[in-house]
Amino acid sequence: MKVYEQQKIENMRGEVVFRQKLAKQHVEGETVLPSYCGKEQAENILRDRVQETLKDISALKVKGLALSPFVELGAERCQRSLVMTNDFGADGFAVDISFHQLKTAGHYAELFNKPRMPHRVCCDANHLPFRSASIPFVFCYEFLHHFPSVAPVVRGIHEILSAGNFFFAEEPFKRPRLRLYEQKRKLHSPEGDKRSSVVRFLEGFFSEEGCDEVEHGVIENGDISMHEWVDALSVFDSREVTLSSLGKRIQTRLGSRPGLRNLPNAMFGGGIRGICRKESRQATPKLDNILDLLTCPECAFRPSGGSTRLEPSLRREQSRLRCEACDRAFPIIDGIMVIFPKNILEQLYPEFCAAA
């Protein structure tokens, strides 16, 4: 079996620290990242993302895809999950490693007039606390490139997906670079965003953009090759994957392997998006409560000696969930379910350990 590089705990910790700062800057208006966009600019960006999500999900609905229950990975402020719950009447989970970003969802629900909240789950994408073959629709934007290898995360998505679909967008694929110097302007800075798209594109061939995320330990993996994407997505039964270069001027389909038609994309790099289908003989569970789709990551990822993983239910107890098998408790704080294996919780959120 091929060995893939895994996300390290310091990268996870970097995500937590960096996104806590973003929450302060974009909700409270406090300047803690001087080179990053401010509150007003962030709100405009999120408004665009809301409209983009409306367009994308409407197109998927026309195709007849089941949208509920859903799981959004890398949900951050939950603006896209808010579209799912309010504009499409779907029920589901907004998942992110950042508790502080998930907590801002109430602010953005009011700002965008989308009062119906998704179920928020703070967890690790490598230990998704959902039952196997239980979710008919999983989606993410700008998420998969935060891992050193795409395949392990995609395998986890495939595991929880029932007979259903995985949609992803706004991910990069590799382009040739010389990296002769590092730009003084940082990614997402007000100064950097003033540059024309042509200037940014040309500079990208010869230099590396500075990035607050990377300085905090967050992985920004822009070197995912077409072959790596094909390898990662090969677990699905069918897929429609589109490569876009030079904005959307060059668009081609990525098949079972890169071909001549993808050569212009390989020269310029760009973005990748797709819809991947899993066919399953295992029926999607019919449950009375959507929270019954949750399971204990402590048990599910513990070696069992069998061919299937253990997936005990989590029982609701006022301000916590408790595993019916190992008796481990998972706190619910400010309406957010915090569901990590114990060793990861201790390193990312030691302040929550007493509530577990």
Q: What is the mean pLDDT of residues 135-155?
A: 97
Q: Which residue has the higher pLDDT, 197 or 101?
A: 101
Q: Copy the structure tokens of residue 224.
A: 């995912």
Q: What is the mean pLDDT of residues 48-76?
A: 97
Express each pLDDT in 325-338 by its tens digit. Answer: 999 999 999 999 99
Express each pLDDT in 301-318 by its tens digit. Answer: 887 655 578 899 999 998
Question: What are the φ/ψ torsions at residue 176 (nearest 5 degrees)?
Answer: -70, 140
- Residue spans of the domains in the chain: they are 9-173+219-260+271-288
3-class state of residue 146 by DSSP:
helix
pLDDT score at 310: 87
Residue 208 has pLDDT above 80, yes or no: no
pLDDT score at 247: 84
Pick the CATH number of 9-173+219-260+271-288 from 3.40.50.150, 3.30.70.1400, 1.10.1060.10, 3.40.50.720: 3.40.50.150
Question: What are the φ/ψ torsions at residue 248 (nearest 5 degrees)?
Answer: -125, 20
Residue 192 has pLDDT above 70, yes or no: no
Percentage of the chain lying above the pLDDT 90 cut: 76
Q: Which residue has the higher pLDDT, 300 or 1?
A: 300
- DSSP code per residue over 282-341: SPPP--SSGGGGB--HHHHTS--SSSS-----EEEETTEEEETTT--EEEEETTEEE---
pLDDT score at 97: 98
Q: Computed from CA positions of residues 78, 322, 129, 161, in that sequence, does the dihedral angle turn out positive or negative?
A: negative
Question: What are the φ/ψ torsions at residue 22 (nearest 5 degrees)?
Answer: -60, -40
Which residues pair with residue 59 across a beta bridge? none
Cβ atoms of 139 and 168 within 8 Å: the answer is yes
Q: Which runs of E-coded beta strand occur in the chain?
A: 70-73, 92-96, 119-122, 135-141, 161-173, 181-186, 207-210, 238-245, 250-253, 270-278, 314-317, 320-323, 329-333, 336-338
pLDDT score at 59: 97
Confidence of residue 356 (pLDDT cuts 50, 70, 90): confident
Confidence of residue 2 (pLDDT cuts 50, 70, 90): confident
Distance CA 229, CA 266 (A): 13
Which is nearest to 53 in space by CA: 118, 97, 101?
118
Confidence of residue 4 (pLDDT cuts 50, 70, 90): confident
Which is nearest to 151 in space by CA: 43, 5, 347?
5
- By the 10 Å C-beta count (0-12 exposed, 13-18 middle, 19+ buried), 176 is classed as exposed
Q: Copy the structure tokens of residue 47.
A: 């408004």
Express each pLDDT in 102-143 by its tens digit. Answer: 999 999 999 999 999 999 999 999 999 999 999 999 999 999
Distance CA 150, CA 43 (A): 29
**Range in 53-67, 171-185, 250-264, 268-282 the model is least confident about:** 171-185
Express each pLDDT in 229-249 by its tens digit. Answer: 999 999 999 999 999 998 889
Distance CA 142, CA 320 (A): 30
Residue 221 belongs to what H/E stretch?
none
Residue 223 belongs to what H/E stretch?
none
